[in-house]
């Protein structure tokens, strides 16, 4: 009886671990909902869409599949050859026989290595191609989103989708899928080989399989949890970073570095903890599988060593030393893929979760789209009409309440009104940055909802309240990659808006570097560049939302002058906070709380002695005062 003690000891140890894990499984809940990680798409749907991306590369995948069979063959055959060598060595052998066996082994090894290499190269290349197509699609879709949709998603989140999430998917194509399939084949193959070699020993190994399954199931729950946490924390940190790096100057101005550091530390630590949890889960799972492996090897060696198995005929089979060696190697080849499979299955889950997130962004329908019967605007005269337009950003909180006005071609109309009265909103509706809820907006008598958006925007030059310059050069910021714009046109535009004065003084002129957001230029200079950028695209209608309230007198004069010139180009709608800027407008529309209060020329409005008159005098007095003090 005592002969069985070692085996019983092994069984008890394995059982104890199994019970501990089971308890953990039962008592630690998977807080799926709490982490806002509910899946919307089924795995099958996600797989179907991924396959659609992979389909053009079917040939490459078939090649990899073929090559994979060879490397599996190595896994199957190599233990047999080593067992064969062992038997040769145990008996009366000739060196020649051993040489032959070794030569066969080395030959198979070389072929298998070559296969692995080819497989890796083909897969990496294919995977990267698939992912770059996916990234392009993703970016293109993000570009189509309306302002409203873009406002709703933090930039950091989008960055995570385009970078981290597509990377996770790329790993699936380059690594996971093939290895998953390979491991399944290896397990089946090794199992069959073991069965053919010896039932009895295979049955002994089978005793360990329920434990492997149990450990794997438990491991999957914990690792999925850890993966989710890592993902959430990564998105969180990216979102925080992208916002706070943009606003870092404000942080410095208000001496808030410490507070922000704390915020960042919290997120960073959360990510660290999530990663640690992930490592811990793997750190427990791997040794456990290893323990099962060692236990099964111990059993094999114990039984074999005890002579219970050696040269015994059991169910018609004889166990030789060669069988034992082959089995020893097969056990390793059996446990390895099982452990890999469990881990890869997790990665696969994680990749599918990433794919779902990516597809969710891809599925966002642009809120503003061309209608099927939309027309293309070839020429624009520049007549604009608002008919009782109602608009709200947030449901039922009307920002524009029945706005109506009519602008004739080539007319210059200015909007004034206190802050938040809806000036910027009117201008954005015109370019269909947002969709209005009620009323009509007509351009040359055509409802703008019936005009193709791209063709509408082509005729509009929008100079927004916040001038945005991209990193690059002055030239690239003016042309914005439009290929039909010549060098001469760029220079001409700069001259026209008086931007040439400062550009000429720069060392590299038009090729001067523009850093991120144009932070190496002054507000006035940025404004002039945005003017040049607008007129070089030859718009028929110009829209200016002016924000530079505090620029030096010299630049102000330059801007004033360029504005007056631009008025000759076409219809112009402008918002200016300095009333002196708009004095020469053909018409001034005074807004208050989303309603038009008055309209007329500067002179007419002054004579009316209404809201504009008051505004004008307030500003005039202030200017007098500042002049008096300076
Ligand atoms: N994206 C947005 N989402 C929700 N509300 C918005 C949004 N943009 C503007 N608003 C609201 O709409 C109102 C009008 O804003 P708008 O930008 O048109 O004002 P404005 O007249 O241009 O002001 P300013 O002179 O300060 O530029 C404001 O009350 C503002 O709070
Ligand atoms: Mg505004």
pLDDT tens digit sequence for 512-524? 899 888 888 888 8
Residue nearest to atom 30 of ligand 1 (CA): 420
Going from the C-alpha of 8 to that of each of 12, 43, 279, 302, the distances in angstroms are 6, 42, 32, 12
More confident residue, 439 or 522: 439
Percent of the chain past pLDDT 90, that is, above it, reads 18
Residue to substitute in 149, 417, 422, 619 for testing ligand 1 pocket (most ligand atoms within 8 angstroms of CB): 422
Q: How confident is the model at residue 630 (pLDDT cuts 50, 70, 90)?
A: low
Residue 391, judged by CB atoms within 10 A of its CB (0-12, 13-18, 19+), counts as buried
Quote the pTM value. Answer: 0.76
Residue to substitute in 149, 389, 399 for testing ligand 1 pocket (most ligand atoms within 8 angstroms of CB): 399
Residues touching ligand 1 (Cβ under 6 Å) are 151, 393-394, 399, 417, 419-425, 465
Residue 214 to residue 338: CA distance in whole angstroms: 12
Report the chain's mean pLDDT, rounded to a whole number.
Answer: 85
Q: What is the mean pLDDT of residues 284-309?
A: 83
Report whether pLDDT(32) > 60: no
Q: What is the mean pLDDT of residues 178-204?
A: 86
- Compute the distance from residue 400 Cα to the ligand 1 centre, in Å: 10
Q: Which pLDDT value is given to residue 30? A: 59
Are the beta carbons of 365 and 436 closer than 8 angstroms? no
Tell which atom from ligand 1 comes closest to the C-alpha of 465: 27
Residue 488 to residue 357: CA distance in whole angstroms: 46
- Compute the distance from residue 255 Cα to the ligand 2 centre, in Å: 28
Residue from 364, 353, 138 nearest 235 by CA: 353
- Could you tell me whether strands 571-575 and 472-473 are parallel, antiparallel, or unpaired per DSSP bridges? unpaired
Residue from 236, 231, 232, 225 nearest 280 by CA: 225
Report whether pLDDT(111) > 50: yes
Phi, psi of 307 (to 5 degrees): 85, 5
Residue 230 to residue 222: CA distance in whole angstroms: 12
Convert the pLDDT of each residue in 206-242 to its tens digit: 888 888 888 888 888 888 788 888 888 988 998 899 8
Q: Which pLDDT value is given to residue 549? A: 55
Q: Which pLDDT value is given to residue 345? A: 81
Residue 531 to residue 565: CA distance in whole angstroms: 11
DSSP 396: T
Q: What is the mean pLDDT of residues 492-511?
A: 87
Are the beta carbons of 625 and 613 closer than 8 angstroms? no
Q: How many CA atoms lie within 13 A of 584 on its CB side?
A: 10
Are the beta carbons of 126 and 170 closer than 8 angstroms? no
DSSP 164: I
Tell which atom from ligand 1 comes closest to the C-alpha of 421: 21
Domain 384-629 has CATH 3.40.50.300: yes
Fold (CATH) for 19-363: ABC transporter transmembrane region fold (1.20.1560)
Q: How confident is the model at residue 37 (pLDDT cuts 50, 70, 90)?
A: very low
Tokens of 97: 């026989």
Q: Which pLDDT value is given to residue 551? A: 62
Q: Which pLDDT value is given to residue 335? A: 86
- Please count the residues of the chain: 630
Residue to substitute in 396, 415, 423, 465 for testing ligand 1 pocket (most ligand atoms within 8 angstroms of CB): 423
| Region of poorest pLDDT, from 20-29, 348-357, 472-481, 543-552 | 543-552
Residue 501 to residue 242: CA distance in whole angstroms: 35
- Residue 589 is inside which H or E element, if any? strand 587-592
Q: Which pLDDT value is given to residue 547? A: 61
Residue 467 to residue 289: CA distance in whole angstroms: 60
Residue 78 to residue 245: CA distance in whole angstroms: 56
Residue nearest to atom 5 of ligand 1 (CA): 393
Percent of the chain past pLDDT 70, that is, above it, reads 94
Tokens of 450: 């019936």
Tell which atom from ligand 1 comes closest to the C-alpha of 418: 25
Going from the C-alpha of 590 to that of each of 34, 62, 203, 403, 416, the distances in angstroms are 50, 69, 90, 11, 5
Residue from 596, 562, 399 nearest 494 by CA: 562
Residue nearest to atom 2 of ligand 1 (CA): 393
- Compute the distance from residue 144 Cα to the ligand 2 centre, in Å: 23
Report whether pLDDT(548) > 60: no
Residues ≥6 apart with Cβ < 8 Å to 169:
50, 131, 134, 351, 354, 355, 358
Residue 411 to residue 568: CA distance in whole angstroms: 9
Residue from 64, 50, 48, 46 nearest 125 by CA: 64
Domain residue ranges of the chain, discontinuous segments joined by +: 19-363, 384-629
- Compute the distance from residue 514 Cα to the ligand 2 centre, in Å: 25
């Amino acid at each position: 009886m005592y002969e069985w003690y070692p085996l019983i000891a092994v069984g008890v140890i394995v059982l104890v671990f199994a019970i501990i894990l089971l308890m953990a499984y039962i008592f630690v809940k998977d807080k799926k909902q709490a982490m806002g990680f509910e899946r919307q798409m089924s795995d099958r749907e996600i797989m179907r869409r991924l396959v659609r991306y992979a389909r053009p590369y079917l040939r490459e995948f078939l090649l990899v599949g073929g090559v994979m069979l060879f490397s599996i063959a190595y896994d199957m055959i190599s233990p047999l050859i080593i067992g064969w060598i062992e038997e040769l060595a145990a008996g009366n052998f000739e060196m020649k026989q051993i040489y032959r066996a070794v030569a066969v082994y080395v030959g198979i090894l070389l072929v298998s290595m070559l296969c692995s290499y080819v497989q890796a190269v083909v897969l990496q290349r294919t995977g990267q191609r698939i992912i770059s197509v996916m990234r392009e699609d993703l970016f293109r879709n993000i570009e189509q989103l309306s302002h409203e949709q873009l406002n709703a998603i933090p930039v950091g989140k989008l960055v995570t989708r385009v970078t981290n999430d597509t990377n996770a998917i790329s790993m699936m194509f380059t690594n996971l899928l093939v290895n998953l399939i390979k491991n399944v084949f290896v397990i089946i193959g090794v199992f069959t080989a073991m069965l053919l070699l010896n039932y009895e020993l295979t049955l002994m190994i089978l005793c360990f399989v329920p434990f492997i399954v149990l450990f794997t199931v438990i491991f999957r729950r914990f690792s999925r949890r850890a993966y989710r946490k890592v993902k959430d924390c990564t998105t969180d940190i990216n979102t925080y970073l992208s916002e706070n790096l943009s606003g870092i100057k404000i942080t410095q101005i208000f001496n808030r570095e410490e507070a922000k550091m704390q915020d960042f530390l919290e997120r960073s630590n959360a990510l660290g903890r999530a990663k640690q949890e992930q490592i811990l889960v793997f750190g427990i799972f791997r040794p456990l599988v290893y323990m099962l492996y060692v236990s099964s090897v111990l059993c094999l060696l114990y039984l074999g060593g005890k002579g219970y198995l050696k040269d015994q005929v059991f169910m018609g089979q004889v166990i030789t030393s060669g069988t034992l060696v082959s089995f020893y190697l097969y056990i390793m080849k059996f446990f390895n893929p099982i452990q890999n499979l469990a881990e890869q299955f997790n990665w696969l889950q994680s990749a599918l979760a990433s794919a779902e997130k990516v597809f969710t962004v891809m599925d966002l329908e642009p809120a503003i789209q061309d209608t099927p019967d939309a027309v293309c605007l070839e020429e624009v005269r520049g007549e604009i009409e608002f008919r009782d337009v109602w608009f709200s950003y947030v449901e039922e909180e009307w920002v524009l309440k029945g706005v109506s006005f009519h602008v004739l071609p080539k007319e210059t109309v200015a909007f004034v009104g206190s802050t938040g009265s809806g000036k910027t909103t009117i201008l954005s509706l015109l370019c269909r940055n947002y969709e209005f809820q009620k009323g009509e907006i007509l351009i040359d008598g055509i409802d703008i909802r019936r005009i193709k958006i791209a063709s509408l925007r082509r005729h509009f030059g929008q100079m927004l309240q916040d001038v945005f310059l991209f990193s690059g050069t002055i030239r690239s910021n003016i042309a914005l990659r439009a290929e039909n714009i010549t060098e001469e046109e760029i220079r001409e535009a700069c001259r026209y808006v008086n931007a040439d004065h400062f550009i000429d003084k720069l060392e590299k002129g038009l090729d001067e570097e523009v850093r991120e957001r144009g932070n190496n230029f002054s507000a006035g200079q940025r404004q002039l560049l945005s003017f040049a950028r607008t007129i070089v695209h030859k718009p028929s209608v110009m829209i200016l939302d002016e924000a530079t309230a505090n620029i030096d007198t010299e630049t102000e004069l330059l801007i004033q002058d360029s504005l007056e010139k631009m008025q000759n180009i076409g219809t112009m709608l402008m918002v200016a906070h300095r009333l002196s800027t708009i004095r020469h407008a053909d018409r001034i529309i005074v807004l208050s709380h989303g309603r038009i209060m008055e309209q007329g020329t500067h002179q007419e409005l002054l004579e009316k002695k209404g809201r504009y008159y008051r505004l004008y005098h307030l500003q005039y007095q202030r200017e007098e005062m500042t002049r008096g003090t300076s």
